Structure 1
Amino acid sequence: MLAAFALAHGRLVHLPVQTAADLARPEVMWVDLVDPSDDERALVQSVFRLELPEDEELEDIEESARCYVDDAGLHINSYFLHQNSEGADNVTVSFLLNEGRLLTMRQEELAVFRLFRLRARVQPGFVGSAEDILLSIYEVAVEYDADVLEGVYSALEKVSSRVLNRETEMNDAAMAETVADIAQQEDVNGKVRLDLMDTRRALSFLLRSRVIGREQEGNLREILRDLESLNNHTGFLFDKINFLMDAVMGLINLSQNKIIKIFSIASVVFLPPTMIASVYGMNFGVMPELKWELGYPFAILLMLLSGIAPYVFFKKKGWL
C-alpha cells in the first residue's frame, strides 16, 4: 500500500496517488509504504531517484547498516512494537529523510502509525515538517510502549494475586496456565525492552546528525529521558517476573513433594502388615499357630493394628 500526505491548515491530510505526477507534487511531505508491491516500489524509486532497501537489509542489526547518511539523505531502520492475537513482535521500519520529505517503509501496519495519523489529522500544528513527522512518530511509539508496559504490569498483578492467594490452592492445570501467562508477559517485556534500546540508538544518531532544529532537539532529548525511565521500568518488570516464576516453581515443587510424601508414608504404613503377612504365609511344617482356630482373625487384626499405629503416629507428629 502506498500513501502520500501533505499539510493543509496545519493538519496532515491524505493525498490520492495514482500516477508519478501525483507523487512528485511539491506539497507531498510524507510518503508511507506498507508491504509495497513491486509496482509501488518502482514508482517511488523512479520519482525520487533512490533505491529502497530490500526486506533482508531491514533486518541487519549492525548500527552502520541501520543508521547512516548517504547521497539520498538520512537513513534510519528502527524497531517498532507490533501486537496481535498471537502475541508481540518487533517490526523494522525504514525511514529516509530526503530533501524535506520523509519516506517510511514497513511490512506490517502498526498501531503507532495509526495513532500518529489520527493525531496529525485532528490536531492543528501537531507537525510542521518532515523532521517533525519523524520525531512525532517516535514520540507516539514511546507512549505506545509505555501503555504496553502498563498492560504487562496489570497482567502480572493478576498472576501475583493468584499465586500469593493462600485461601485457594492451585491445581496442576492452574499452575501450568500461570507459568504460560508469566512466560508470555516476559516475552512482551523483552520485546518492549529491545524496541526501547533500538529507539534510543536511532534517536542518538539523529541527535548527532544535526539535521533537526534547536526546538526539535529539545523534544528529542525529552523523548530520550522518557526512554530511559521506561527502560528502568522494564528492569523492574523483569525482577517481578523472575520472582513470580520462582514462586510458581516453588509451589510446583511443594505439590510434587506432597505426592512423594504420601507415597513414602504409605509404604511405611503398609510395611508392618506386609511383614506379618509374610511371616504367617510361610509353609514350614512346624508352626505353633498353624492349627490355631483363631489364627486367621488374629493375623488380620494384627495387620490392621500394625498399619493403624504408624498412621496415628505420623498424624500426631503433623507429617500428614
Structure 2
Amino acid sequence: MLNVFTLANGRLFQEEIENFEELAGVQPVWVDLEEPTPEEKSWLIGRFGVSIPQNAVDEDLEESARFYEGDNGELHIRSDFLIEDGDTSRNVRVAFILHDNVLFSVHDEDLPVFRLLRLRGRRMPGLIEGAKDVLLKLYDMDAEYSADSLEGIYDALEQVSASVLKADVSDTDAGEALAAIARSEDLNGRIRRNVMDTRRAVSFLMRTRMLNAEQFEDARQIMRDLDSLDSHTAFLFDKINFLMDATVGFININQNKIIRIFSVASVALLPPTLIASIYGMNFEHMPELRWQYGYPFSIALMLATVIAPFWYFRRKGWLK
C-alpha cells in the first residue's frame, strides 16, 4: 500500500496512490509504504529517483547500516517502533529515507504512532511544515506512546499489588500475578529498547547538522523526554522484581503449609503405628490372648496417641 501526504492550508492531506500517473501528479512531503510491492517500488524510482533496499526492514542489519548517507545524498535511518496490542507487545522495524525534502517510510504493518500523526496532522494546522518535521514528530509521538505504555504498566502493577499484598494469597492468585508480572516485564523491556533506539536516531539527526534552529530545539526536547522515561523504566524494573519475589515467597509459604500438614500427620501417626506393630506380634503374654478387652484397649490406646499429638500441635498453633 502506498500513501502520499501533501500539505494543504497547513494540514496534512492523505491520498492513496493506485498507479504511477496519480503519483506523478502530486508533490508530497511524506510517502508511506506499508508492505510495498515491487511495482510500487519501481514507481518511486521513476518519480523520485529513490531506490528502496531489499533489506530495508530486516531485523539483522549491522549497526553501521542503521544510519548512513546514500550515494545520492539521501539519508537512511532504521528505527524500531513499539506496538502494544492487548497482552502482547512487539517492536516493528521502520526504514526512513529522506531525499529532496520528501520523507519515505517503509514498514510491514500499520503503527499506532503513524495513525496518531495522520490524525493530528489533519486536525492541527501548522503542525507539519516539511519532511523533517514529519520525522521529528514521529519520534516525538513515539516517546509519547512509550510514556502511555509505561502508565499502563503502572496500572497493571497496582492491580497485581492489590492481589498479592493481601492477607491470604492462593496458588491461583499467585499464578495469575506471575503471568501479569511477566507481561509487564516484557513490555517494560521493549519500551527501554524502543527509547534507546529513538534516542540514537534523534541524536543522529542532530549530528547531521541538517536541522534548522527550531527543529534542533524540538530534537533536544525529544531527547529530554526520552531521558525522563529512563527513571520510570528503572523504577518499574525494581517494582517488578519486588512483586516477583513477593509472589514467589507466597507460593513457597503455601507449599510449606502443605509440607507442614504431612509432617504433623506423620509425627502424630507414629505412636499408633508403633502400638499396632507391637500388638501384631501376638506374643503369648500379650493381653489380647488372655483378656477379652485386649483389642478394644489397643484401639483406644492408638486413638489416644493420635489425639494427644494433634491437641498439642493445635495448642502450639502449628495447624493454623
**Above 0.5 in TM-score?**
yes
- Rounded to whole Å, the distance in 2 between the matches of 1:105 and 1:134 is 13
**In the alignment, structure 1 residue 38 sits paired with structure 2 residue 38:** yes
For residues 245-273 of structure 1, what are the alpha-carbon distances to aligned partners after superposition, in whole Å with 9 as ceiling and x for unaligned?
00000000000000000000000011001
Q: Does the C-alpha gap of structure 1 residues 185 and 61 become closer, same or farther in structure 2, counting only changes over 3 Å? A: farther
Farther-moved stretch of structure 1 (186-195 vs 23-32): 23-32
Q: Quote the offset at 1:285 in angstroms.
A: 3.4
Residues 58 and 77, structure 1, Cα contact 8 Å, conserved in 2:
no
Q: Quote the offset at 1:182 in angstroms.
A: 0.6
Task: Give the TM-score of the pair, scaled to structure 2.
Answer: 0.95
Local SS of the residue matching 1:7: strand
- 2:51 equivalent in structure 1: 51
- Rounded to whole Å, the distance in 2 between the matches of 1:283 and 1:294 is 15
- 2:128 equivalent in structure 1: 127
Residues 5 and 12, structure 1, Cα contact 8 Å, conserved in 2:
yes
Which amino acid in structure 2 is aligned with residue 7 of structure 1?
L
- 2:62 equivalent in structure 1: 62
- 1:205 equivalent in structure 2: 204
The correspondence of residues 293-312 of structure 1 with structure 2, limited to 5 A, is 293-312=292-311
- Rounded to whole Å, the distance in 2 between the matches of 1:283 and 1:228 is 84
For residues 145-165 of structure 1, what are the alpha-carbon distances to aligned partners after superposition, in whole Å with 9 as ceiling and x for unaligned?
100110011000000011011
- 1:151 equivalent in structure 2: 152
Residues 57 and 107, structure 2, Cα contact 8 Å, conserved in 1:
no
Residues 58 and 66, structure 1, Cα contact 8 Å, conserved in 2:
no
Residues 10 and 125, structure 2, Cα contact 8 Å, conserved in 1:
yes
The correspondence of residues 246-265 of structure 1 with structure 2, limited to 5 A, is 246-265=245-264
- Rounded to whole Å, the distance in 2 between the matches of 1:42 and 1:116 is 27
Aligned length: 318
Structure 1, gaps ≥5 residues long: none
- 2:283 equivalent in structure 1: 284
- 2:173 equivalent in structure 1: 174
Local SS of the residue matching 2:246: helix
Residues 174 and 247, structure 2, Cα contact 8 Å, conserved in 1:
yes
- 2:18 equivalent in structure 1: 18
**In the alignment, structure 1 residue 87 sits paired with structure 2 residue 88:** yes
Residues 150 and 233, structure 2, Cα contact 8 Å, conserved in 1:
yes
**In the alignment, structure 1 residue 142 sits paired with structure 2 residue 143:** yes
Residues 79 and 199, structure 1, Cα contact 8 Å, conserved in 2:
yes
Task: Give the TM-score of the pair, scaled to structure 1.
Answer: 0.95
Local SS of the residue matching 1:290: helix
Farther-moved stretch of structure 1 (281-290 vs 105-114): 281-290
Q: Does the C-alpha gap of structure 1 residues 36 and 86 become closer, same or farther in structure 2, counting only changes over 3 Å? A: farther
Residues 189 and 238, structure 1, Cα contact 8 Å, conserved in 2:
yes
Structure 2, gaps ≥5 residues long: none
Q: Quote the offset at 1:211 in angstroms.
A: 1.1
Local SS of the residue matching 1:95: strand
Local SS of the residue matching 1:94: strand
Local SS of the residue matching 1:18: coil
Farther-moved stretch of structure 1 (299-308 vs 82-91): 82-91
For residues 136-180 of structure 1, what are the alpha-carbon distances to aligned partners after superposition, in whole Å with 9 as ceiling and x for unaligned?
1111111111001100110000000110112xx232222211111
Residues 68 and 76, structure 1, Cα contact 8 Å, conserved in 2:
yes
- Rounded to whole Å, the distance in 2 between the matches of 1:68 and 1:23 is 27
- 2:235 equivalent in structure 1: 236
Residues 58 and 94, structure 1, Cα contact 8 Å, conserved in 2:
no
- Rounded to whole Å, the distance in 1 between the matches of 2:199 and 2:145 is 15
Q: Quote the offset at 1:47 in angstroms.
A: 2.3
- Rounded to whole Å, the distance in 2 between the matches of 1:117 and 1:138 is 14
Name the % identity. 51
Q: Quote the offset at 1:281 in angstroms.
A: 0.8
Q: Does the C-alpha gap of structure 1 residues 288 and 16 become closer, same or farther in structure 2, counting only changes over 3 Å? A: closer
For residues 75-134 of structure 1, what are the alpha-carbon distances to aligned partners after superposition, in whole Å with 9 as ceiling and x for unaligned?
110000012245000000111110111000100101110000000111010010100010
